[in-house]
Amino acid sequence: MINWFMEQTLSLSMVCLAILLLHRFLLSKLGAHYTYFMWISVPLFVFADLLQMILPQHFSWFGSSNGVSVIEQYYVLANDTVALSAGLLDQLYLPYLYAAVVALLVINIVMEYANLQRLINNAKPLAVSSSRLKVLVHSQIESPMLAGFFTPSILVPDSFMQLDDCQQQAIIQHEMYHYQRGDLWMNILAYGLTVLFWFNPLMWLSYRRFRQDQELSCDAQVTADMKTQAKIAYSQTLLAYSQHAPLSMLHTPYGDKTILKERILQMKKQHGKSTLALIGMTLVIGMSAFMFNQQALAGDNLKAKTNTDAMAMPVIRIEPSYPIDAAKEGLNGYVQMIFDISPAGKVSNVRVMKSAPKQMFDASAVEALEQWQYQTSADGFKDVQVQLDYVIHQPEKSVERITVN
C-alpha cells in the first residue's frame, strides 16, 4: 500500500499540475463546459494504474521475462541520529498520523451529511412546475443548492420566492443540470481521492478548481441560449447569493464569491462543443501521466533483458529502518533473504536464509522487502535472492556477501 501511494502521488501531481497550469488556456479554447470534463483524466489515470496492477499480462508495456532473476546487494546506510529518528517516525508516527487525518476528514463529511439531512427533513415543500425534483424551502439556507445522493432535492432560501419567474427558472435549471450530470457523485469521488492524498497540496488546489469549473460549466449550459438582459438578471442573482455560499463536499452551492467575476465574464464567451478536442486533450494528459508512471516503475528494466535470461530489478525500493538498538551500539550486519515476485511485481513469501548478528536486522529487512515493487512480468519469479547490508560505518571484510548467479 505504501508503494502504491508513493507511485500515485508523483503521477497524480503531474496530472493536476498540468491542468492547473493550462487552465486559463483550456478555458479560453475549450470553454467552461469541456474544461470541467478535463478533470475526468484524474480518476481515469488512477483506474488505469489499478487495471495495470490487476492485469499486468495485458499492460506490461516495458517488457518482462520469466528467466532467472539476478538481484544486486543493497546497503542500508545510517548514522545514530538518522537511525533513531527514522525508526520512530517511519514505524510509529507516520502511519498513525495519516490514519488520524483521514479519520478526521471522514468524520467531517459524515457530520456534513447529517446536517444536510436535518435541513432536508425540516424544509417545507415548494411547488415549482419547471423542476422534476422536489424543491424545498428552508430559512437557514443562504443559497440555492442540490443536496441528497439517493433522493436529491433542490433546497432554496426564503428569498427565492422574491425572484421573478425567469430568475427562478434559471436557478432551477442550474441545479437540475448538476443533477442530470451526476455532479454530487463526482464531488464525493473527487473528495475521496483528495482524502486519500490529503498530504499533497496539489490535490486540494485541484479539488477546489474542479468545483469551481463545475459551477462555470453549469452557468455555460444555462445561459447558452439566453438574451443579454436575461444574462444580466442571472448575473445579479449570482451576486445576491454569492455572499453566503460556502464550498461544500456534499451539495452544489449556487453562489461562490471566489469566482463571481470569472463566472460573469465567462457568460460573455460561448464556445462550440468540440468533442474531438476534449477527448484528445484528456487522453494526452491522462496517458502522458500514465506512461510517466510506468517509466518510473520500470526504471532500468529495459536493460535487464538478455538473450538467455533477465534480471528482476526493483523499481520501488523502500529503505529499511535501522533498528534503534543496533544503531545505539554501532552494529553493522546483513540479512540474506529469498522470496517470490508475482506477475504484478509484488513481493511475497519472504524468508530469511541467513543473517548476522542473528535476528538483529531480520524484522526490519523483511518488513521493507515486502513493500518493494518489481517490474511486471508474464509469469513472475520464484526463489529470488537478495542481501541487505546494514552499515553505519564502512562494511567490515568479515561480513559475508551473497553472490547470485
Over residues 133-160, the pLDDT tens digits come to: 888 998 888 888 888 878 888 988 888 8
pLDDT digits (tens, 9 = 90+) for 359-381: 889 999 999 999 998 888 888 88
Lay out the sheet containing 134-137: strands in order across: 124-126, 134-137, 153-156, 145-147, 251-253
> Per residue in 46-83, is it b (16+ CB within 10 Å) or e — as a string?
bebbeebbeebeebbebebbebbbbbeebebebeeeeb
Mean pLDDT to the nearest integer, 284-300? 53
pLDDT given at position 236? 75
The helix or strand, by DSSP H or E, that contains position 218, with its residue range, turns out to be: helix 201-223
Cell numbers representing residue 28 in the block? 479560453
Distance CA 284, CA 258 (A): 30
Which residue from 244, 245, 224 is spatially nearest to 234, judged by alpha carbons? 224
Cell numbers representing residue 343 in the block? 506477475
Mean pLDDT to the nearest integer, 206-213? 90
Cell numbers representing residue 37 in the block? 470534463
Q: How many helices (H) and strands (E) does the chain have?
A: 14, 11
Backbone angles phi, psi at 311, to 5 degrees: -105, 125
Which residue from 316, 326, 315 is spatially nearest to 355, judged by alpha carbons? 326
pLDDT given at position 399? 46
pLDDT digits (tens, 9 = 90+) for 49-73: 766 656 544 454 444 444 444 455 7
Question: Would you give the end-to-end CA distance of the chain in angstroms?
Answer: 31
pLDDT digits (tens, 9 = 90+) for 73-124: 777 766 543 444 444 445 557 778 888 999 999 998 888 888 888 888 888 9
Give the residues across from 337 on adjacent strands. 352, 386
CA 175 to chain centre: 27
Report DSSP state, residue 339. Answer: E
Mean pLDDT to the nearest integer, 282-310? 49
Beta carbons within 8 Å of 3's beta carbon, 6+ residues apart: 316, 318, 371, 372, 373
> Per residue in 169-178, is it b (16+ CB within 10 Å) or e — as a string?
bbbbbbbbbb
pLDDT beyond 60 at 187:
yes
